[in-house]
Amino acid sequence: HFLPLRMGVRVLGSLGVIGTAVSRETLEAIGSLIATAIERAGAIEQLSKTEADRQSEQLRSALLDSVTHEFRTPLTGIKAAVTGLLSGTHLEPAQRTELLTVINEESDRLNRLVGNLLEMTRIDAGAIHLLREPCELQDLVGSALELFAERAKDRPIQIDMPPDLPLIPLDYVLMVHVLSNIIDNALKYSPVGSPIEIKADLQDDQVVLEIADHGLGIPEEDLGRIFDKFYRVRRPESVSGTGLGLAICKGIVDVHGGQISARNRPGGGAILRIAFPLEALKASPSVTSQ
Ligand code: ADP
Protein backbone atom coordinates (compact mmCIF):
# COMPACT_ATOMS: atom_id res chain seq x y z
CA HIS A 1 0.00 0.00 0.00
CA PHE A 2 1.24 3.46 -0.80
CA LEU A 3 -0.09 6.69 0.57
CA PRO A 4 1.14 10.26 0.07
CA LEU A 5 2.89 12.14 2.88
CA ARG A 6 1.14 15.48 2.82
CA MET A 7 1.72 18.78 4.51
CA GLY A 8 -1.36 20.78 3.67
CA VAL A 9 -1.64 20.53 -0.10
CA ARG A 10 2.08 19.82 -0.60
CA VAL A 11 3.20 16.24 -1.06
CA LEU A 12 6.57 15.63 0.63
CA GLY A 13 6.92 11.98 -0.36
CA SER A 14 5.09 8.73 -0.13
CA LEU A 15 4.88 5.98 2.45
CA GLY A 16 4.96 2.35 1.28
CA VAL A 17 3.77 -0.41 3.58
CA ILE A 18 4.08 -4.16 3.09
CA GLY A 19 1.21 -6.21 4.57
CA THR A 20 -2.28 -5.17 5.62
CA ALA A 21 -2.20 -5.56 9.41
CA VAL A 22 -2.72 -1.83 10.02
CA SER A 23 -5.91 0.06 9.15
CA ARG A 24 -5.86 2.84 6.56
CA GLU A 25 -6.73 5.46 9.26
CA THR A 26 -3.72 4.39 11.39
CA LEU A 27 -1.43 4.56 8.34
CA GLU A 28 -2.72 8.03 7.50
CA ALA A 29 -2.07 9.15 11.09
CA ILE A 30 1.50 7.75 10.94
CA GLY A 31 1.95 9.37 7.52
CA SER A 32 0.86 12.73 8.88
CA LEU A 33 3.31 12.43 11.83
CA ILE A 34 6.15 11.57 9.45
CA ALA A 35 5.23 14.51 7.19
CA THR A 36 5.29 16.88 10.19
CA ALA A 37 8.68 15.52 11.30
CA ILE A 38 10.14 15.91 7.78
CA GLU A 39 8.80 19.46 7.54
CA ARG A 40 10.24 20.36 10.94
CA ALA A 41 13.64 18.85 10.13
CA GLY A 42 13.67 20.83 6.87
CA ALA A 43 12.82 24.06 8.71
CA ILE A 44 15.58 23.49 11.28
CA GLU A 45 18.09 22.74 8.53
CA GLN A 46 17.12 25.91 6.70
CA LEU A 47 17.39 27.94 9.90
CA SER A 48 20.86 26.68 10.76
CA LYS A 49 21.98 27.23 7.18
CA THR A 50 20.75 30.82 7.32
CA GLU A 51 22.54 31.29 10.65
CA ALA A 52 25.75 29.73 9.26
CA ASP A 53 25.52 31.98 6.19
CA ARG A 54 25.02 35.01 8.43
CA GLN A 55 28.01 34.09 10.60
CA SER A 56 30.26 33.40 7.63
CA GLU A 57 29.19 36.69 6.05
CA GLN A 58 30.04 38.46 9.31
CA LEU A 59 33.40 36.71 9.43
CA ARG A 60 34.11 37.57 5.82
CA SER A 61 33.46 41.27 6.32
CA ALA A 62 35.49 41.31 9.57
CA LEU A 63 38.34 39.66 7.68
CA LEU A 64 38.05 42.08 4.78
CA ASP A 65 37.97 45.10 7.09
CA SER A 66 41.02 44.14 9.09
CA VAL A 67 42.95 42.77 6.13
CA THR A 68 42.35 45.86 4.02
CA HIS A 69 43.56 48.04 6.87
CA GLU A 70 46.53 45.79 7.60
CA PHE A 71 47.63 45.78 3.95
CA ARG A 72 47.17 49.46 3.48
CA THR A 73 49.33 50.56 6.43
CA PRO A 74 52.61 48.93 5.31
CA LEU A 75 51.90 49.75 1.67
CA THR A 76 51.46 53.42 2.55
CA GLY A 77 54.78 53.31 4.43
CA ILE A 78 56.59 51.62 1.55
CA LYS A 79 55.11 54.02 -1.02
CA ALA A 80 56.12 57.07 1.04
CA ALA A 81 59.66 55.74 1.54
CA VAL A 82 60.09 54.93 -2.17
CA THR A 83 58.76 58.35 -3.15
CA GLY A 84 61.23 59.92 -0.71
CA LEU A 85 64.12 57.92 -2.19
CA LEU A 86 63.16 58.76 -5.78
CA SER A 87 62.67 62.46 -5.27
CA GLY A 88 65.31 63.23 -2.67
CA THR A 89 68.44 63.79 -4.71
CA HIS A 90 70.27 65.32 -1.73
CA LEU A 91 69.54 62.68 0.84
CA GLU A 92 72.11 62.05 3.54
CA PRO A 93 73.29 58.42 3.78
CA ALA A 94 71.54 58.17 7.18
CA GLN A 95 68.25 59.36 5.66
CA ARG A 96 68.55 56.83 2.82
CA THR A 97 69.22 54.05 5.33
CA GLU A 98 66.19 55.13 7.34
CA LEU A 99 63.90 55.01 4.29
CA LEU A 100 65.32 51.65 3.20
CA THR A 101 64.77 50.30 6.73
CA VAL A 102 61.10 51.35 6.51
CA ILE A 103 60.77 49.46 3.22
CA ASN A 104 62.52 46.42 4.67
CA GLU A 105 60.40 46.29 7.85
CA GLU A 106 57.11 47.04 6.16
CA SER A 107 57.64 44.38 3.51
CA ASP A 108 58.42 41.87 6.30
CA ARG A 109 55.12 42.88 7.86
CA LEU A 110 53.27 42.31 4.57
CA ASN A 111 54.98 38.96 4.21
CA ARG A 112 53.91 37.93 7.75
CA LEU A 113 50.37 39.02 7.00
CA VAL A 114 50.15 36.97 3.81
CA GLY A 115 51.71 34.00 5.64
CA ASN A 116 49.12 34.28 8.43
CA LEU A 117 46.21 34.46 6.00
CA LEU A 118 47.45 31.39 4.13
CA GLU A 119 48.01 29.47 7.35
CA MET A 120 44.55 30.40 8.67
CA THR A 121 42.94 29.14 5.46
CA ARG A 122 44.80 25.84 5.84
CA ILE A 123 43.81 25.49 9.50
CA ASP A 124 40.16 26.26 8.67
CA ALA A 125 40.18 23.66 5.94
CA GLY A 126 41.73 21.11 8.33
CA ALA A 127 44.55 20.85 5.85
CA ILE A 128 47.67 21.26 7.97
CA HIS A 129 50.26 18.69 7.04
CA LEU A 130 52.94 18.32 9.66
CA LEU A 131 56.41 17.48 8.51
CA ARG A 132 57.89 16.42 11.80
CA GLU A 133 61.61 16.24 12.29
CA PRO A 134 63.61 16.16 15.53
CA CYS A 135 64.11 19.83 16.43
CA GLU A 136 66.30 21.64 18.90
CA LEU A 137 64.35 24.40 20.62
CA GLN A 138 67.45 26.61 20.52
CA ASP A 139 67.48 26.41 16.70
CA LEU A 140 63.75 27.15 16.46
CA VAL A 141 64.04 30.19 18.68
CA GLY A 142 67.17 31.32 16.80
CA SER A 143 65.42 31.08 13.42
CA ALA A 144 62.40 33.01 14.70
CA LEU A 145 64.58 35.73 16.26
CA GLU A 146 66.53 36.13 13.01
CA LEU A 147 63.33 37.39 11.38
CA PHE A 148 63.32 40.31 13.81
CA ALA A 149 67.03 41.12 13.73
CA GLU A 150 66.37 44.71 12.66
CA ARG A 151 63.25 45.42 14.73
CA ALA A 152 64.61 43.88 17.91
CA LYS A 153 68.09 45.36 17.75
CA ASP A 154 67.46 47.72 20.68
CA ARG A 155 65.85 44.95 22.78
CA PRO A 156 67.73 42.92 25.33
CA ILE A 157 66.70 39.35 24.54
CA GLN A 158 67.40 36.99 27.41
CA ILE A 159 67.42 33.33 26.49
CA ASP A 160 67.46 30.70 29.18
CA MET A 161 67.49 27.10 27.98
CA PRO A 162 69.22 24.11 29.54
CA PRO A 163 71.65 22.53 27.06
CA ASP A 164 70.30 19.03 27.67
CA LEU A 165 66.74 19.55 26.41
CA PRO A 166 65.55 16.59 24.35
CA LEU A 167 65.05 16.90 20.59
CA ILE A 168 61.35 17.38 19.89
CA PRO A 169 59.64 16.04 16.76
CA LEU A 170 58.00 19.21 15.43
CA ASP A 171 57.27 20.80 12.09
CA TYR A 172 60.17 23.26 11.97
CA VAL A 173 58.69 25.75 9.51
CA LEU A 174 55.28 25.89 11.19
CA MET A 175 56.80 26.23 14.66
CA VAL A 176 59.03 29.11 13.50
CA HIS A 177 55.79 30.68 12.27
CA VAL A 178 54.23 30.22 15.74
CA LEU A 179 57.24 31.70 17.52
CA SER A 180 57.49 34.61 15.10
CA ASN A 181 53.84 35.54 15.77
CA ILE A 182 54.47 35.47 19.53
CA ILE A 183 57.73 37.44 19.29
CA ASP A 184 56.01 39.92 16.94
CA ASN A 185 53.34 40.47 19.63
CA ALA A 186 55.93 40.77 22.41
CA LEU A 187 57.65 43.53 20.38
CA LYS A 188 54.35 45.20 19.45
CA TYR A 189 52.80 45.23 22.90
CA SER A 190 55.78 46.27 25.06
CA PRO A 191 57.76 49.50 25.21
CA VAL A 192 60.75 50.16 22.96
CA GLY A 193 63.95 49.09 24.72
CA SER A 194 62.27 46.76 27.22
CA PRO A 195 63.59 43.20 27.45
CA ILE A 196 62.05 40.01 26.14
CA GLU A 197 62.72 36.75 27.95
CA ILE A 198 62.61 33.35 26.28
CA LYS A 199 62.83 30.35 28.53
CA ALA A 200 62.56 26.61 27.92
CA ASP A 201 62.41 23.88 30.50
CA LEU A 202 61.60 20.24 31.07
CA GLN A 203 58.71 20.19 33.58
CA ASP A 204 57.49 16.77 34.70
CA ASP A 205 56.65 15.06 31.44
CA GLN A 206 56.50 18.08 29.17
CA VAL A 207 58.76 20.51 27.39
CA VAL A 208 57.68 24.05 28.16
CA LEU A 209 58.64 27.17 26.24
CA GLU A 210 57.75 30.60 27.60
CA ILE A 211 58.09 34.01 25.99
CA ALA A 212 57.67 36.94 28.34
CA ASP A 213 57.64 40.68 27.80
CA HIS A 214 57.48 43.77 30.01
CA GLY A 215 54.49 45.45 28.40
CA LEU A 216 50.94 46.19 29.50
CA GLY A 217 49.98 42.54 29.75
CA ILE A 218 46.56 41.19 28.81
CA PRO A 219 43.36 42.04 30.72
CA GLU A 220 42.49 38.98 32.84
CA GLU A 221 39.03 38.65 31.27
CA ASP A 222 40.57 38.41 27.79
CA LEU A 223 43.20 35.77 28.58
CA GLY A 224 40.98 32.92 27.38
CA ARG A 225 39.75 34.67 24.26
CA ILE A 226 42.89 36.04 22.65
CA PHE A 227 43.34 32.71 20.84
CA ASP A 228 39.97 33.14 19.08
CA LYS A 229 40.01 34.12 15.44
CA PHE A 230 39.79 37.92 14.96
CA TYR A 231 39.76 38.57 18.71
CA ARG A 232 41.70 41.70 19.56
CA VAL A 233 42.13 43.63 22.75
CA ARG A 234 42.33 47.18 21.48
CA ARG A 235 45.01 48.19 23.90
CA PRO A 236 46.97 50.26 23.17
CA GLU A 237 44.72 51.77 20.47
CA SER A 238 47.63 52.66 18.21
CA VAL A 239 48.81 49.07 17.71
CA SER A 240 47.18 47.52 14.68
CA GLY A 241 46.63 43.85 13.90
CA THR A 242 44.17 41.32 12.53
CA GLY A 243 43.53 39.18 15.60
CA LEU A 244 44.71 36.16 13.60
CA GLY A 245 48.25 35.64 14.94
CA LEU A 246 47.42 33.78 18.15
CA ALA A 247 44.54 31.85 16.54
CA ILE A 248 47.09 30.48 14.07
CA CYS A 249 49.55 29.70 16.88
CA LYS A 250 46.83 27.73 18.66
CA GLY A 251 45.83 25.90 15.47
CA ILE A 252 49.42 24.80 14.82
CA VAL A 253 50.27 23.93 18.44
CA ASP A 254 47.01 21.91 18.74
CA VAL A 255 47.82 19.82 15.67
CA HIS A 256 51.18 19.00 17.29
CA GLY A 257 49.32 17.75 20.39
CA GLY A 258 50.59 20.65 22.50
CA GLN A 259 48.92 23.41 24.50
CA ILE A 260 49.28 27.16 24.28
CA SER A 261 48.15 29.55 26.98
CA ALA A 262 48.73 33.08 28.22
CA ARG A 263 49.08 34.67 31.64
CA ASN A 264 50.34 37.92 33.08
CA ARG A 265 53.75 38.47 34.61
CA PRO A 266 53.61 39.45 38.26
CA GLY A 267 55.79 42.49 37.49
CA GLY A 268 53.73 43.50 34.41
CA GLY A 269 53.76 42.09 30.88
CA ALA A 270 52.49 38.94 29.23
CA ILE A 271 53.83 35.39 29.23
CA LEU A 272 52.92 33.10 26.35
CA ARG A 273 53.45 29.45 27.21
CA ILE A 274 53.67 26.47 24.89
CA ALA A 275 53.79 22.98 26.37
CA PHE A 276 54.46 19.77 24.48
CA PRO A 277 53.76 16.60 26.44
CA LEU A 278 56.64 14.22 25.67
CA GLU A 279 54.25 11.25 25.58
CA ALA A 280 52.03 12.83 22.89
CA LEU A 281 55.09 13.61 20.79
CA LYS A 282 56.42 10.07 21.12
CA ALA A 283 53.08 8.60 20.08
CA SER A 284 52.79 10.79 16.99
CA PRO A 285 53.88 9.42 13.66
CA SER A 286 56.75 11.22 11.95
CA VAL A 287 54.43 12.64 9.33
CA THR A 288 50.88 13.45 10.30
CA SER A 289 48.16 14.89 8.19
CA GLN A 290 44.79 16.16 9.23
P1 ADP B 1 46.81 40.98 16.76
O2 ADP B 1 46.89 40.99 15.26
O3 ADP B 1 45.74 41.87 17.30
O4 ADP B 1 48.13 41.19 17.43
P5 ADP B 1 46.84 38.30 17.91
O6 ADP B 1 45.95 37.13 17.60
O7 ADP B 1 48.29 38.12 17.64
O8 ADP B 1 46.26 39.51 17.08
O9 ADP B 1 46.62 38.69 19.43
C10 ADP B 1 45.31 38.86 19.93
C11 ADP B 1 45.29 39.93 21.00
O12 ADP B 1 46.00 39.47 22.15
C13 ADP B 1 45.96 41.22 20.59
O14 ADP B 1 45.03 42.12 20.00
C15 ADP B 1 46.54 41.77 21.89
O16 ADP B 1 45.62 42.64 22.49
C17 ADP B 1 46.68 40.55 22.77
N18 ADP B 1 48.09 40.19 22.95
C19 ADP B 1 48.77 39.23 22.30
N20 ADP B 1 50.06 39.16 22.73
C21 ADP B 1 50.19 40.12 23.65
C22 ADP B 1 51.28 40.58 24.49
N23 ADP B 1 52.49 40.02 24.41
N24 ADP B 1 51.03 41.61 25.36
C25 ADP B 1 49.81 42.18 25.44
N26 ADP B 1 48.74 41.79 24.69
C27 ADP B 1 48.92 40.79 23.81
If pLDDT is split at 50, 70 and 90, which confidence band does 157 have? very high
Minimal-distance CA residue to ligand 1 atom 19: 185
pLDDT more than 70, % of the chain:
95
Handedness of CA 227, 231, 233, 237 (dihedral sign): positive
Q: For residue 247, which atom of ligand 1 is closest to its CA?
A: 6
Minimal-distance CA residue to ligand 1 atom 26: 218
Minimal-distance CA residue to ligand 1 atom 4: 241
Minimal-distance CA residue to ligand 1 atom 21: 185
Minimal-distance CA residue to ligand 1 atom 27: 218
* pLDDT value, residue 289: 39
Q: For residue 186, which atom of ligand 1 is closest to its CA?
A: 23
For residue range 25-54, list pLDDT tens digits in order: 888 899 999 999 999 999 999 888 888 888
Cα 167 to ligand 1 centroid, rounded to whole Å:
29
Q: Does position 229 have pLDDT exceeding 50, yes or no?
A: yes
What mean pLDDT is predicted for residues 170-193? 94
| Residue that wins the pLDDT comparison between 7 and 215 | 215
What mean pLDDT is predicted for residues 121-144? 90
Q: Is the CB of 251 under 6 A from ligand 1?
A: no
| Residue that wins the pLDDT comparison between 70 and 183 | 183
Cα 93 to ligand 1 centroid, rounded to whole Å:
36
